[in-house]
Amino acid sequence: MTTEEMQKKIEKVFSERFGGKGNIYASAGRINLIGEHTDYNGGFVFPGAIDKVIMAEVRPNGLDIVRVFSIDIDQYCEFGLNEEDAPKESWARYIFGICREIQKRGGDVKGFDAVFAGNVPLGAGLSSSAALESCFAFALNDLYNGNNIDKFELARIGQSTEHNYCGVNCGIMDQFASVFGRKGNLMRLDCRSMEFEYFPFSPENYRLVLVDSRVKHELADSPYNKRRESCERVAKRLGIETLRDATMEALNKIKTDITAEDFFRAKFVIEEKERVLAVCDALNAGDYETVGRKMYETHAGLSKDYEVSCEELDFLNDVAKELGVTGSRIMGGGFGGCTINLLPNDLHDKFVKEVTARFNEKYGHEPKIYDVVISDGARLVEESPKE
Ligand code: GLA
């Protein structure tokens, strides 16, 4: 469904369910060029928002309950705004969490009606959940808080929602990208200082393509939180706040005091930090071959040391390499989802055809292919006409 079609659908359903019109808001899914599992270690990430969004029509209802309908799941849910009112439906908990996290920070939220839908593929590692959180955080900031909550806080509200209502101890990357995304730009974020810069990304001869293995990716109760715990254990052992400050030299010194598993997790994080910086230099020099090489290194690290890959993703990585793709790696938390591929324009059609056929032959289903269009993040799409 295109974003325009989706908006029409949302407007139709909203007027049928609630009558009239509300404001339309949207926020985006994200890609990440490099810098994986570094955000919660105080390191660097390199994400950008994409042209796939969660969109919602939202209007205050003058009550103290939220009434919300999800078009994609075809479910309706109602909940109050006190802690004990948490809904059971996992999709509604994201919205409830946003309301509560705004309230906990002293912000205002009252009852509203909403209808939403999305074209960010679910479980593909493109952060549909961050898009949902950012869309509602942005909307409630606009409707009830005079846009006084700053954008970093909006991202943190989304992150805290994951921590406190959805069971995922994620870092800040996804919500940051979804809130701050800007058309045509990637962003390098230092997750310790939260300083960032926009990085125009429109290489003349290369493009980014995602290959979605359609292997389900579920971060709650998943080994994701365990990875984070490993990193925190090693940081503690090294007497530092996060692995941002760790070196391989220091890690090697404590090698015999920690488990092999923790050692390899920390090794990956330390190496990944260096890779992000190397990729920035390479991008500044227009050296896409180096960018690609670093992406392959990240994949190897994520697969062997961090162990967040799976057979299908390793297969996609091997096929990419064989077909001459410049860079390819798992993207996002891992355990399924997409690979991100950097490739010369003239390889695009051949790559898409071959990777689709070969994956289908081996796993009995075709992967989905998404051409990356780097787009804007959270926004007001359309204001309802004033009565
Ligand atoms: C998930 C998390 C992010 C980040 C990535 C891995 O997307 O939500 O915070 O840790 O995994 O880089």
Nearest to 219 by CA among 304, 299, 154, 129: 129
Give the Å distance between the CA of 39 and the centre of ligand 1.
7
Sheet of 23-32, strands arranged across? 75-80, 65-70, 112-118, 47-60, 23-32, 379-382
Q: What are the C-alpha distances in Å from 93 to residues 88, 116, 154?
A: 7, 14, 17
pLDDT at 386: 72
Extract the runs of DSSP E, i.e. beta strands, from the chain. 23-32, 44-45, 47-60, 65-70, 75-80, 112-118, 185-190, 196-200, 206-212, 327-330, 338-344, 368-371, 379-382
- Does residue 244's CB lie within 6 angstroms of at least one atom of ligand 1? no
Is residue 98 a contact partner of residue 107, using CB atoms and an 8 Å limit? Answer: no
Nearest to 32 by CA among 340, 365, 368: 340
Nearest to 223 by CA among 94, 337, 329, 334: 334
- Does residue 39's CB lie within 6 angstroms of at least one atom of ligand 1? yes
Residue 35 CA, closest ligand 1 atom number: 12
Burial 42-62 (b: 16+ CB within 10 A, else e): bbbbbbbbbbbbbbbbbbebe
The rounded distance, in Å, linking the Cα atoms of 237 and 157 is 30
Going by alpha carbons, the residue nearest to atom 10 of ligand 1 is 37
Query: pTM to 2 decimals?
Result: 0.96
Q: How many CA atoms lie within 13 A of 16 on its CB side?
A: 9
pLDDT at 68: 98
pLDDT at 385: 82
Q: Is 174 a catalytic residue?
A: yes
CB within 8 Å of 243: residues ≥ 6 apart: 41, 42, 43, 231, 234, 235, 266, 269, 270, 273
Question: Which pair of structure tokens corresponds to residue 20?
Answer: 């009239």
Helix axes 151-161, 173-180, angle to 10 degrees: 140
- Does residue 112's CB lie within 6 angstroms of at least one atom of ligand 1? no
Q: Tell me the chain's radius of gyration from C-alpha atoms.
A: 21
Q: What angle do CA 64, 128, 372 make, to 5 degrees?
A: 145
- Identified catalytic residue from 174, 212, 262, 376: 174
Output helix, strand, coil percentages for the chain, rounded to the nearest 5: 45, 20, 30
Residue 341: strand, helix, or coil? strand
Write out the chain's pLDDT in tens, 387 residues: 889 999 999 999 999 999 999 999 999 999 999 999 999 999 999 999 999 999 999 999 999 999 999 999 999 999 999 999 999 999 999 999 999 999 999 999 999 999 999 999 988 889 999 999 999 999 999 999 999 999 999 999 999 999 999 999 999 999 999 999 999 999 999 999 999 999 999 899 999 999 999 987 565 557 899 999 999 999 999 999 999 999 999 999 999 999 999 999 999 999 999 999 999 999 999 999 999 999 999 999 999 999 999 999 999 999 999 999 999 999 999 989 999 999 999 999 999 999 999 999 999 999 999 999 999 999 999 999 876
